[in-house]
Chain A
Amino acid sequence: MIKSYKLRRHLSNALIYIILGVMCIIWVMPFVYLVLHSLRLDGGVIDNGALLPKQFTFKHYIDLFAGNAPSGSGAATLYFPQWFLNTFVVACFSCVISTLSVLMVSYAFSRLRFGARKKLMNIAMILGMFPGFMTMIAMYYLLKIMHLDGTLVALVLCYSCGAGLGFQISKGFFDTIPRALDEAATIDGATKNQIFWKIILPMSKPIVVYTVLTSFIGPWTDFILAKIIMGDDTSKYTVAIGLQKMISAEFRSSYFQQFMAGSVVVAVPITLLFLKMQKYYVEGVTAGGVKG
């Protein structure tokens, strides 16, 4: 009886290993394909019916960063290094502004008590429920009136202005820091400002890192807003819309492999940052729970 039970367990475990293994392959395969084919020697969309490339080269990566047009296409109109730089600059600026606004808003909602608090939080919740694309056209005209359309400043503004609305997670974290700390500091004569900078922020490292990373990653992955603001001016593109441009009908046949290489170049750092962020997120959320 016991033996059969053990056997059954072994069997079921083996089955689970097989299923999980197959699933892992399905989930990871497309990325393996991406990396392999970004290294494939002969150009074009398809390697004549072969899933596994036969010869490898770093040519596409070099072309990508040197801004060389692939053979068979005209002048280089797509310039990846410029896109990379654009995105990096935008990401840095919007990261600073967004992080500050998110932390300020969440501290105010979490630790300060004032009349309009509940109302403002409800308004923020309602604003978040409108589909984001609805306002983009209006935003574009607004930027046009300010003569900012087609500039990187406009992108920074767009990415960071609404950041204050995403306060929920860090507010949740601040909520879990014991209030006794604030009270003790107040008795010692600290102002709310000092409490924020000297007590709450140093205690909130995981959530601060999490906020910094999310707002840094944002501009790298957005592909709608940037496209509306930049229009056809490819020199101002960010990597996301640039890569999308590479596989548009016009460029796909010649730029396909640079697209693959570019995807790898963008995906690797963001993946690493995300994994780091995930760690801090988990740390932030669980650390809060234990303190209660």
Chain B
Amino acid sequence: MTYVEYKQLSPLQKFAFNFKKFFKNLPGAVGRFFKTIGLAIVHFFVGIGKGFKNYGVTFVKGDWATKLSYVIFGFGCLHKKKYYKGILYFLVEVLYILFLVFFGAEQLYWLPTLGTIAQHTEIIDGFAVTVPGQKSMQILLYATLTLVITAVVFVIYISNIKDAYKLQVMKENGEKPTSLKEDARAFLDGKYHITLLSFPILMISVFNILPLIFMILIAFTNYNGTDHINLFDWVGLENFGNLLNVIDSAKKAQTFFGIAGWTLIWAVAATFSNYILGMIVALMINKKGIKLKGVFRTMFVITIAVPQFVSLLLMSQILAEDGAFNMVLAFFNGGVNPHINFLGGEALTARLTVIIVNCWVGIPYTILSMSGILMNIPEDLYESARIDGASPFKTFTKITLPYMIFVTTPQLITTFVGNINNFNVIFLLTGGRPTNPDYFNAGYTDILVTWLYNLSMGSGVQDYGLASAIGILVFIICATLSLIVYNNSKSMKDEEAFS
């Protein structure tokens, strides 16, 4: 259909056309999404394959010292008189072997069973002595640590081989190996990224990646706070089954689907209420002829600036049964205080309240970002529209609105993902209340992440395995959404557009 033909359609036909177009393009979009994932996996394995090939090729081409480097770290470097590096490599190997012998190997040995010895009493020299049992949690954590260290040592091992081969080639070409001083200088210039990144990467590995791997592994165990406190076992996909299988594990699955449904409603309502209301207010503030723009904007920015935990705790106090809002209502109610429990009473009231309070929290953010965008719309667009005799309403629907929607769509999806993970608002306002007796340790206003919190750190029944499984599912949802956005966002594609 050409543009002219499209313009001649009635609004209803236009809608039908776009509707059809959307669903016609949907398979393509989903296909592209899976293609991206597929390509990433293929690249990953191709990379591994290449690594193996290089590993073999180097071994065949290497001289005896290089070949010996495959077993003894740093031998190639030592042989080619690059002593400091050779000694460092060798030290790594010695330390790693000591680490394995005295610590790591035992942890890896227990990893498949996660420990079998429970706390028990033994008769030693005629006395009954309580022998502490093994702690599966500790075994798993130490084993994860061992695995991470092994991965790091493996990287060092590969770089040792590469270095050995590089030095061999240099020697064959009659070049001298670089000195320590030259190498040190390279770390401030050519290899500066290693200097800059090694410290942050180390910190992130220890405090982010290691715990993450540990918790992902926990999702496949039956670790909980009731009957598997010290010793627990691998259970495969049972936790995921418990979450998704409505027939066999009625309560957990019911809770999961109930909470997932509410999370979805919450995320949609929170995102769109903020977006639409925020846009309307931003348009009002930025309208021509409205004075005191700065004052209004500052008022809203102040509410962002106040730390969220203060404003949310304050709100929870104002909306409490004996709080200020009930007093305001009493004023309109002829002096009779209704004592409505907004946050812990009825399910529907509590849910509506969190959505409304979230508007109070979130609209200023929307106003702030929208104001920036509104000011960026090129003025000549409006001028030419005015010359062509467009009414203010027309300019709004034909220029302002499309521009805003075009610019803010990626932001909208990011906000949506943020709302799925919006822990603060729910936790500080209601804490999940009112409790739902049909749910597994959750309440009516709990969303997936607050349920995760209840199950791992809150009061009540704790089930770490289930909590980790929820975390992984939330990750899958968020990652899918974010990947779609990142795939289509411009700033990701032309990173260097401005430089």
Contacts and interface: CB of A to CB of B under 8 A. Distances in A.
A184 interface: no
A130 B189 contact: no
A81 interface: no
Interface stretch (B16-24, B58-66, B248-256, B307-315): B307-315
Contacts of B306: 31, 267, 270-271
Contact of A193 (B192, B299, B317, B428): B192
Interface string B298-335: 01111111111111011101100011100110100000
B52 to A, nearest CB: 18
Interface stretch (B1-9, B119-127, B466-474): B466-474
Contact of A20 (B285, B314, B317, B322): B285
Given A20-B285, A130-B475, A27 B197 contact: no
Interface in B436-486: 449, 452-453, 456-457, 464, 467-468, 471, 474-475, 478-479, 482, 486
A196 B195 CA distance: 12
Contacts of B302: 28, 31, 271, 275
A173 to B, nearest CB: 10
B310 A28 contact: no
A240 B311 CA distance: 12
B132 interface: no
Nearest to B480: A129
B141 A164 contact: no
Contact of B498 (A16, A49, A161, A288): A288
Contacts of A76: none
A119 B355 CA distance: 38
Contacts of B301: 275, 278
Interface string A134-150: 11111101100100000
B152 interface: no
Contacts of B308: 221
A208 interface: no
Which 8 pairs from chain A and chain B are nearest by CB?
A164-B200, A138-B211, A292-B498, A134-B471, A274-B305, A161-B207, A135-B211, A192-B192
Contacts of B289: 9, 13
Interface secondary structure of B, over-half rule: helix
B478 to A, nearest CB: 5
Contact of A51 (B190, B214, B327): B327
Interface of A: 9, 13, 16-17, 19-20, 23-24, 26-28, 30-31, 33-34, 45-46, 49, 51, 101, 104-105, 107-108, 112, 114, 117, 120, 125-127, 129-131, 133-139, 141-142, 145, 157-158, 160-165, 172, 175-179, 191-194, 196, 217, 220-221, 223-224, 228, 240, 243-244, 247, 256, 259, 263, 266-267, 270-272, 274-275, 278, 282, 288-289, 291-292
B406 interface: no
A259 to B, nearest CB: 8
B161 interface: no
B497 interface: yes
A228 B192 CA distance: 37
Given A33-B324, A129-B417, A263-B310, 7 more contacts: A27-B303, A134-B471, A157-B207, A192-B189, A192-B192, A244-B313, A270-B306
B11 to A, nearest CB: 26
B305 A138 contact: no
Nearest to B296: A20
A4 to B, nearest CB: 15
Contacts of A114: 193
B143 interface: no
Contact of A16 (B203, B287, B427): B287
B499 interface: yes
A134 B452 contact: yes
Interface in B362-399: 364, 372
Given A105-B197, A165-B204, A131 B303 contact: no
Contacts of A28: 299, 302-303
30 contacts: A9-B289, A13-B287, A16-B287, A20-B281, A24-B296, A24-B300, A34-B310, A46-B322, A108-B192, A114-B193, A129-B478, A130-B212, A131-B474, A136-B211, A138-B214, A142-B207, A145-B141, A172-B491, A175-B495, A175-B496, A176-B498, A176-B499, A191-B192, A192-B188, A196-B192, A240-B309, A244-B309, A267-B310, A270-B305, A271-B305
Contact of B204 (A46, A126, A164, A289): A164
A214 to B, nearest CB: 12
B218 to A, nearest CB: 8
B408 interface: no
A175 B498 contact: yes
B307 A220 contact: yes
Given A134-B215, A221-B307, A274-B305, A129 B482 contact: yes
Chain B contact patch, size range: 35 or more
B46 interface: no
B208 A24 contact: no
B495 A126 contact: no
Contacts of B496: 175
Contact of B207 (A46, A158, A172): A158
A104 B200 contact: yes
Contact of A127 (B196, B204, B337): B204
Contact of B305 (A157, A278, A291): A278
Contacts of A17: 290
B134 interface: no
Contact of A34 (B137, B314, B327): B314
B272 interface: no
A260 to B, nearest CB: 8
Contacts of A275: 301-302, 305
B201 interface: yes
B209 interface: yes
A43 B88 CA distance: 67
A135 B215 contact: yes
Contacts of B318: 30, 33
Contacts of A160: 203
B197 A127 contact: no
Contacts of A125: 482, 486
Contacts of B323: 46
Given A134-B468, A278-B301, A13 B309 contact: no
A101 B203 contact: yes
Contact of B475 (A117, A129, A244): A129
A141 B141 contact: yes
A112 B189 contact: no
A94 to B, nearest CB: 12
Interface in B165-217: 185, 188-190, 192-193, 195-197, 199-201, 203-204, 206-212, 214-215
B499 A30 contact: no
Nearest to B491: A172
Contacts of B427: 224
